[in-house]
Structure 1
């Protein structure tokens, strides 16, 4: 995860191990079941609820950028302000990306950008993305590539 703020995982076991290591280091991990989202609005509702966004949250990508910026940089909606940081773990993100490809990319881009801003303030925001598709690819986000985790970096390591 040292090369990018957004890291891909194919094997659920490896994602679970990464999550456990982060939790052991006092990161707050928010798991989001992206495979259940069939619309962009489903995604907004889930993220807003998980991160305790305010009632005025606009349920659009601009509002997500604003509120996630508050979470990443100032923490008013993050209940672990004293912790090591925040991890967003998207499960089955490939399913959401299949039905809302543009929104799926923009969400990761927003997270990567907000993670960079948070780092400047010595806060941490990390995004872990699970995909059932071992060949999924995303254009760069936050001016950084979306990369596979170190155990699955080689294509051959993502095959049964």
Structure 2
């Protein structure tokens, strides 16, 4: 814990979905979250061209997700998120989505459906004492996403200011 509150509290206070641009930012976030026993799950969306590829990328990244479960439809995939992303053995998870802004244009709406589901599942899991945080990699410092899953998508606390996102300077708390 740095400061008066743990990192997950600071992130979740602003929502479940956060953007990041720089390696130093995500490294700091992941170091703090893994110290709190969060499991890190890395998903690369850069080469996903359709809904099936988006679902497959997540399914392959989640340990212990049964083969074939939830691959055919968004409804089945949502059930898989409820059953396999977080559970008693893995109550805390941070999903790191790389390549979100590199995914082919035909996949853009499917990527947003994924974010909607992750935000909705994050709130649902809170009812059971589980926590889910999603970090989205982007190289666009001025990216603003519409609300997903009825949540505002925020920049992480280390890159809230444009000067931090454009590499003009790092926050003083980041070495």
Matching residue of 1:36: 47
Q: TM-score, normalised by structure 1?
A: 0.85
Q: Among residues 31, 36, 59, which one is paired with 1:48 in the alignment?
A: 59
State the 1:42 CA deviation.
Answer: 2.1
Q: TM-score, normalised by structure 2?
A: 0.78
The yes-or-no answer on 1:61 pairing with 2:77 is no
Q: Which runs of 5+ in 1 are unaligned?
A: 76-80
SS in structure 1 at match of 2:103: helix
Per-residue CA distance 1:72-117 (angstroms, 9 max, x = gap): 56x2xxxxx3455011111121112744221111111110110001
Cα RMSD between the aligned structures?
1.9
Q: Which runs of 5+ in 2 are unaligned?
A: 1-10, 168-175
Distance in 2 between residues matched to 1:106 and 1:147, nearest whole Å: 17
The yes-or-no answer on 1:5 pairing with 2:12 is no
Q: Which moved more, 1:113-122 or 1:13-22?
A: 13-22
Distance in 2 between residues matched to 1:22 and 1:136, nearest whole Å: 24
Task: State the structure with more CA Rg.
Answer: 2
The yes-or-no answer on 1:19 pairing with 2:30 is yes
Q: CA contact under 8 A between 2:70 and 2:79: conserved in structure 1? A: no
Give the number of equivalent residue pairs. 154
**Equivalences for residues 97-108 of structure 1 within 5 A:** 98-108=105-115
CA, structure 1 residues 10+98, in 2 after alignment: closer, same or farther (shift >3 Å)?
A: farther
Distance in 1 between residues matched to 2:90 and 2:52, nearest whole Å: 30
